[in-house]
Structure formats: structure tokens, C-alpha cells
Structure 1
Amino acid sequence: MSNVTLVDVFKHRITQKYLQRSGINHAVTVACYAYDLSLEEEVDPDLATKSALLHDMGHYEWYRDGKWDYEEYRRHDIHAIKGAERAHKLLIRLGESRTTAKEVSLAVLLHTDSYLPFELKGKRTALQEVVRKADEKDEQPQGLHHYKEMDKSEALKILHQLDLAVAKAKKMP
């Protein structure tokens, strides 16, 4: 069992840097959805919540003439690729096992197929599908879900409770 918690992941300066771009509210909300879905789908809740928290850490902002250009962003989007790399490096730095870091990284990479020239339907693992579904539950048109606000202290409270729930779920037979 991992001793790297969601709170540990959230507090790291790299996570803080990239979650500012993709939205703390979205990341925390998707982690909560992933926890619930992981229990339903019998997926490791530790892997699911970490993957969900980090799923959009590859996002970047795309502006044209000083305004957010969602269509231009979608046309050039590679956030899942960048996010997978960042998530893996972050988790290794925090002392996570290589196996967990790889599983989380792959879930981040495959949480969407928007950047691929083909669909992943039917090709994802159960963990990857949980993260995809959790992300989809929080989506809003034009990427507005990335701009919902959440105070960092509120995020920490929610993630602490989620850490407790994950620990409890992992102890259950």
C-alpha cells in the first residue's frame, strides 16, 4: 500500500503549478467521482483518485488576441501526453512505487482520446475507464469546468477526507 497521499500530491509545487491551469475545483471533483466509480467498478481507489486528481496536469492555456480560444486549443491539444509525463515524474519524486506511477501515468494519458486520430472505445483498462467517466461527469461546454473556483484550503479538506476513505476502502476485504 502506498504511503503517498492525495494531500501529499496536491501540496507539491509541481501539482500546484499545473492545477492552476487546469482548475483545482475540476481536479478535486473528478477525484471524488473517481473514488465512487472505483468502488462500483472494483478498481483500486488509490490509483483511481490519484489518476483523476492529476488527469489534466498537462493543460496549457491557448489565447488569441487576448481571449481564450477553445477551438484553437482543441485543434492543438496534447494535454494528456504532457500530463502523463508530469504525473509520472511527480509521483516518482514523491516516493511512489514505479508500478503505481506507471499505472497512474497511463490513466492520465488515456483519459481522453481527443488528441488521437482514432477512438479508444473498448481499449481502456478498468482504471482508465473510471478516470475517463469521472472526467466526463464534470465536463461543461467550452471547457468552462476548468474555470470553476475552489479555495486551496477547501481542496485540502476534501482530499484529506478522500485519503481517509481510500485507506478505509483498501482495508476492506
Structure 2
Amino acid sequence: MRDVTLTDIFMHPITQKYLKRSGIAHALEVANHSFHLAFKYNVSVDLATKAALLHDIGHYEWYRQGKWDYELYRENDIHAIKGAERAHKLLIRLGESPQKAKQISVAILLHTDSYLPEIDVNRSPLQKVVKLADEMDEEKGGGHHYKQIDYGTALQKIQYLDKLVDQYLPKQQLPHEKTV
């Protein structure tokens, strides 16, 4: 039994505010990709889908002269840092265990290299899953953030993903998530 579901997270006003900035359709696609990748990398489908759903909640809107400026974003963005903090606070508020909230938040922190200096990051399997899932939905010029989906359809997709997580989570025999 999970303390917090994807639906709980999705319906929270904080999540709605920030997912609208970064793209609800993108967040759902990344969560779906993470669900499938979790099996390949032997990580919890629960942790993978939660981290994926929330991976971009740290986005700031980079506008210049009233228009989205993708280059300004690429040069100055640190959304993964802000997103990790927001996700941790939100998950704790919703009743997620502190250990899971931390694992999810660190996966969000490391889902992109855009703000990191030129170093190799040694990611855990969960962190790899979220990074790969995000890359699978990426479009040139940040187009993945502009895909549209109506709230009702998005909610149905989240509820369906919740059912899948509930169905497969008890069957997963996972080692405790560690950095490899």
C-alpha cells in the first residue's frame, strides 16, 4: 500500500500550478516512460513514476519581450534544483515517507545535466530511469513543454497509471535503492 498516489500528487494545487508551466502532457509521458523503464532498471515503479511526474516542477518561465526564450532558458536554468526542493516539500506534506521523498527528490535533481558543470554524474538506477524517460519525450527547442492535454484526460491517464503501479508494485522484488 502506498502512502501517496500519483492522483494525490497530480490533484494538489502546487502540482497543478507548476505542471501547467512545464507541460502536463510532457509530465504524463515521462511518468509513463518511467513506469516501463523501471522494470528494465529494477527500480520501484512507484518511485519512478512519482519522480517522473514531478521532474519539471521547478521550471521558471523564461520570457524576453513577452515571448518564451528557449536559449535564455538553456543558458540560465536551474529548474532541477528548485524542482527537487518543491517535490520534497510537497511529498512530505502529502504524507510520503521521508526516505521515499528524498529518493524521488534526488532523482528530480539529477534528471538533467543542463545546470551541472562538465562532470560525469554517477546516477542510481532510479535517477537513470527519470533522466532517460525525460529524454525519450524531448523535442527540439523545448517543444515537449507545449504539448496540450485537457485536465479530464490527464486525470484519467494518471488514475490508469496509478492502477498499473498498484498492480505491479507488490510483484516487484527490489533491493533497497542505492547509488551504483
TM-score, with structure 1 as normaliser: 0.96
SS in structure 1 opposite 2:26? helix
**Aligned 8 A contact 2:3 2:97 in 1:** no
Q: Tell me which amino acid in the other structure corresponds to 1:67.
A: K
Q: Name the structure 2 match of 1:137.
A: 136
TM-score, with structure 2 as normaliser: 0.93
**Aligned 8 A contact 1:31 1:48 in 2:** yes
Q: Distance in 2 between matches of 1:161 and 1:120?
A: 36
Matches within 5 A, 1:42-121: 42-121=42-121
Q: Tell me which amino acid in the other structure corresponds to 2:79.
A: H
Alignment coverage as a number of residue pairs: 172
Matches within 5 A, 1:32-43: 32-43=32-43
Q: Percent identity?
A: 60
Q: Distance in 1 between matches of 2:60 and 2:138?
A: 17
Unaligned runs of 5+ in 2: 173-180
Q: Distance in 2 between matches of 1:134 and 1:55?
A: 10
Q: Name the structure 2 match of 1:148.
A: 147
Q: Tell me which amino acid in the other structure corresponds to 1:78.
A: I
**Mean CA deviation greater in 140-149 or 1-10:** 1-10
- Given the alignment of the two structures, is residue 28 of structure 1 paired with residue 17 of structure 2, yes or no? no
Q: Aligned in 2, Cα 1:152/1:71: closer, same or farther, shift over 3 Å?
A: same
Q: Distance in 1 between matches of 2:149 and 2:137?
A: 14
**Aligned 8 A contact 1:2 1:97 in 2:** no
**Aligned 8 A contact 1:45 1:166 in 2:** yes
Alpha-carbon deviation of 1:40? 1.7
Alpha-carbon deviation of 1:60? 1.1
Runs of 4+ in structure 1 deviating by more than 4 angstroms, as ranges, are none
Unaligned runs of 5+ in 1: none
Alpha-carbon deviation of 1:2? 2.1
SS in structure 1 opposite 2:3? coil
**Aligned 8 A contact 2:81 2:109 in 1:** yes
Q: Distance in 1 between matches of 2:120 and 2:16?
A: 30
